[in-house]
Chain A
Amino acid sequence: KQEVTQIPAALSVPEGENLVLNCSFTDSAIYNLQWFRQDPGKGLTSLLLIQSSQREQTSGRLNASLDKSSGRSTLYIAASQPGDSATYLCAVSQGAQKLVFGQGTRLTINP
């Protein structure tokens, strides 16, 4: 059974710092991996999707990498801003559109 783990559960950094969020999964047979953002009491917003054949995806200040063989993905956020404060979730797809989610990392950017 696929299990997805995100470490740390919470992270607090000063504004302007670069930071890395981690995601690991136990079964490397995935179609893709997605990173989502969730603001308190809100739904999820898709940030980046990496296909299983890809190594990384970039969108603005965000860069996501995927190492399928080791079961790991990272989300790199450059020049962090207070508006980046949110919970970040990663999820892997194993077909039939079913996503398995990690528990999330709650990120706080301090002005």
Chain B
Amino acid sequence: DGGITQSPKYLFRKEGQNVTLSCEQNLNHDAMYWYRQDPGQGLRLIYYSQIVNDFQKGDIAEGYSVSREKKESFPLTVTSAQKNPTAFYLCASSLSPQLAAGRRWAWETQYFGPGTRLLVL
């Protein structure tokens, strides 16, 4: 089955520690995204990547880092510089607009993973 997987489901971070959240997709999507969701709020974009080896900052990138070495994978590292990391983190993917011309409805839809809840000890 095609889809997006995120691991772990729950993650605990100690003070001063960096932690990495995994996101993998087998949908052959070029674009991938990381969002943060706080209680009672909508999603806010952390980082996104339209193609391998390239990524851009979103609205709240401070204290986070990403890499995109493979098309299928887009891991997010929450660094010790992120002072309020407790949140629900969601990864998403979509077709690249350049590759889906003529199927506009498809490339504009983002598909989401099940999320990782990060808690601070």
Which A residues are within 8 Å of any B CB, using their own CB? 4, 9, 31-32, 34, 36, 41-46, 49, 51, 89, 91, 93, 96-99, 101-104
CB distance from A13 to the nearest CB of B (A): 20
Interface pair A43/B90, CB less than 8 Å apart = yes
Smallest Cβ-Cβ distance to B31: which chain A residue: A97
Chain B interface residue count, Cβ-Cβ cutoff 8 angstroms: 31
Interface pair B42/A43, CB less than 8 Å apart = no
Main SS of the interface on chain B? strand
CB distance from A32 to the nearest CB of B (A): 6
CB distance from B90 to the nearest CB of A (A): 6
Query: For chains A and B in complex, what number of residue pairs have CB atoms within 8 angstroms?
Result: 67
Interface pair A97/B97, CB less than 8 Å apart = yes
4 interchain residue pairs of minimum CB distance: A101-B42, A43-B112, A44-B112, A101-B43
Smallest Cβ-Cβ distance to B105: which chain A residue: A49
Interface pair A34/B109, CB less than 8 Å apart = yes
Complex-state Cα separation, A98 to B92, whole angstroms: 11
Interface pair A98/B108, CB less than 8 Å apart = no
Interface pair B113/A97, CB less than 8 Å apart = no
Complex-state Cα separation, A4 to B115, whole angstroms: 22
Residue-by-residue, is B11-38 near A (CB-CB < 8 Å gives 1, otherwise 0)?
Answer: 0000000000000000000010100000
